[in-house]
Structures are given as C-alpha cells and as structure tokens.
Amino acid sequence: MSADSFEFSSSASRVATSPIRELFGLLDCPDIVSLASGLPSKEALDIDGLSKATSMAVKQSAAVAFRYGATAGYDPLRELLVQRERDKGIPAERGRLLVTSGSQQAIDLVCRILVNPGENVVVEAPTRLGALLTLRFQGAKLRAVVTDEEGIDVDELRRTAELHRPKLLYLIPSFSNPTGRITSLKRRKEILWLAKEFRFYVVEDDPHSELYFNEPPPPSLYALADDEERDWVIHISSLSKILAPGLRVAWLAAPQRLMGHLTTAKQLCDTHTSMLSQLVVFHYLNGGSLEPALSRARRFYVAQSAVMSKAIRTELKGSAFKFARPEGGLFFWGRLEGLDTTKVLEDAIRSGVAFMPGAAFYTTDSVNDCLRLSFASATAEQIVTGVKHLAKVIDRWS
C-alpha cells in the first residue's frame, strides 16, 4: 500500500481542502489585487512603537522573553489586559483570563473542552470561516440561525435552542466577519437571557469592536451580563486587528469553572503563548502607545472604507451588486443577485482581482450569491483598480 492511500483521521476529513482554498493559492501573483484578505494593513501598524517595545523586551526582559513561561500567560501582561478590559466596562479578573496564541486558538480551546462530536452548536448565518472550520474539525453539528441588520434572529435562536439544546452559541456581535453588522443592544440582552434559560455557553468573539468609524458599538455581552448570565459567557479579545497579527497575542475571559480545563488544553497545544510576543505587547501597552495607534488605525480604515464605498458606487452603479457601507471593522458584504459568486471568483482571479465568496461563511452551499470585499490590506489605488476589475467581471456575468 502506498502512502498516498493512507487513511487520515475523521477530524481531518471534516475539513478537507476546498476549491476556494485551491484558488487562493494563486494570490501570490503580483498581478492580482486581493480584496479577499482580512489581514490589517501594514500602513495601520505602528512600526516605530513596536520596534521600541521589541527592543525593550529583548534588552530589559531577556531573562523572561527567551525562557518558558506560565501557561496562563505573563502575569504583568495579564494585569494590564485586565485593567484594559475594565476600562471598557468588562469586569475581567486575572484568575479568569487566559492569554492565547491568537483568537483562533481561543476558539479551538473552547471547542476542545466543551464540544463532543455530534453535539449541537449554533452559529450565525453567515459567520467567520475559521470558526466554522474549528467547529467542523471538532465534529460539532452546526445549527445556523439567520441574521439581519440587528444581528442574530433571537426568535429563531429560541426555537433552535428549544429543539436542539445546543452546547454553545458562537457569534461576533460587533462588526461581524463577514457582514460588518452590529448586534443591537436589545438583542444582546435577549441572547444573555436565552443562554441562561437554555444553559448554553455564548462564545463572544470580539476582534473588531474598537475599529469603529463614528460611534462605538453597544457594550460586549460579557459587560452587559449580570453575575448569573456571565456564568454562560466566554469573551475572546485579540490584538491582531488593532496592533499586529504576527505577534499572535489574544486572550479569553471565562467562568472560573472552565479555567482549569482551558489552561490544561492550552498547555497541551503549545505550553504557552510566545514569551517574546507577550513581552513586546507588555512593553507596548505599558508605555501607553496603544490608544494613539488605535486612533490612527481608525482614521486609516475610515478613509479606506470611504474609498471602497465610492469605487463601488461609481464602478458598480446599476449592477446586480447590493451592499451596505459598514460602520466599522474591515469588510463590505454584498449580494450579487442571481449569480454564484464561487464561479464568478474563478473569472475574477483570471481578470486580476480576488474576493471571498459568501458560501465560505455558511454552513451549507445553499447561499451562493454573496461576497465579502476587504479594504484592510489593499492600498487606496489597489481598491479602486480591484473594484474596476470586479465591475467588468460582473458585467460579463450579468
């Protein structure tokens, strides 16, 4: 028997390579404008501040930065993160905060300790691809609930909870990926009531809430919850979108009864998050550099969003593309009525532009006429060029 016929695990088979991922292997080509990537722009990074923090981490904290550390995270950093969360109205505690290697690991750890194969998990339709893949890998039975301009449909969520008794609900309430929508204050409160009533955990993924353009979104579910409700909320925060994705520093706040299991799962994954990365973040935050950098990032993404909005309205005027301009985050979400965007993507890449087809964000392939455009990493000139290419492709398909 050849190695090619070797049988992989059932977990691996649940996240088999997709045609979409095959297509994105072409994106290294310099002739292709990528409006697909959710990576923050290098223009939004505070390179000088990060360089200084890195130098301090190496020169002042080398004895810590280059050694093994505590699985839960570097304590002085955890204290800073707790204070920062409290400043945002989130009642964090050091003993209930675990530093993770990015928010993707935080989601993975939660799934590892809470979800058994075949158990029901509720997700928004649509939702973040990385979360869907993690849940599928774990063997969860995904129950998608529709969303609208106010977030997840709480009436359908109640019906789903009554029928399927889910283990948890995963959602991104502030500037959701991919839609950019905000869950209203009223619905946030209703979600908390339902979680307590039906005894399911709410995994609140919150990478974008500070990237608002005008007004901040409503308080996080973790901040809104009373003591009983908070027993059912797991809050995930990250610095990837607002500081530097390569540092891979995120954290989760969870009920005390989960912390031992989460810490053990983390230890089995990678022992601890990079100590050097944690030290860089510690010195950066301790120096008071984040708030000015965050303000600059907001201004940058407001401008990027305006460029994309104008390009869409100019180049796609009269086309089948329907969209709403986001109030924060990194993405435009739209619908190409009557078109399969996965098929359109193949033509688009050949024409020099890439986007994320909407089917990637759903639990089934039944919704195929949506797409996500990112203004995060492309330059303003590239955004305009990319939208022009897209307009020509859509015109051919219309």
Instruction: State yes or no: pLDDT of 74 exceeds 70.
Output: yes
Q: Is residue 4 part of a domain?
A: no
3-state SS assignment for residue 212: strand
One domain for residues 126 and 200: yes
Rounded distance, CA 299 to CA 308, Å? Answer: 15
Q: Is residue 136 part of a domain?
A: yes
- Of 243, 260, 286, the residue that ends a domain is 286
Between 19 and 265, residue with greater pLDDT:
265
Q: Is residue 278 part of a domain?
A: yes
Q: What pTM did the predictor assign?
A: 0.94
Per the structure, how many domains does the chain have?
2
Contact 203, 110 (CB under 8 A): yes
Q: What is the pLDDT of residues 194-246, one digit of tens each?
A: 999 999 999 999 999 999 999 999 999 999 999 999 999 999 999 999 999 99
Question: Residue range 105-116: average pLDDT?
Answer: 98
Q: Is the peptide bond before 217 cis (omega within 30 degrees of 0)?
A: no
Q: What is the pLDDT of residues 347-384, one digit of tens each?
A: 999 999 999 999 999 998 778 999 999 999 999 999 99
One domain for residues 167 and 204: yes
One domain for residues 303 and 356: yes
Rounded distance, CA 208 to CA 174, Å? Answer: 6
**Looking at residue 264, which CATH number applies to its domain?**
3.40.640.10
One domain for residues 84 and 231: yes
pLDDT value of residue 159: 99
**Looking at residue 392, which CATH number applies to its domain?**
3.90.1150.10
Q: What is the pLDDT of residues 144-163, one digit of tens each?
A: 999 999 999 999 999 999 99
- Of 286, 319, 344, the residue that ends a domain is 286
Residue 276: CB atoms within 10 A of its CB come to 18
One domain for residues 298 and 150: no
Contact 98, 74 (CB under 8 A): no
pLDDT value of residue 18: 60
- In what helix (H) or strand (E) does residue 111 lie, and over which residues does it extend? helix 103-114
pLDDT value of residue 1: 56
Rounded to 10 degrees, the C-alpha dihedral 263/269/273/274 comes to 150
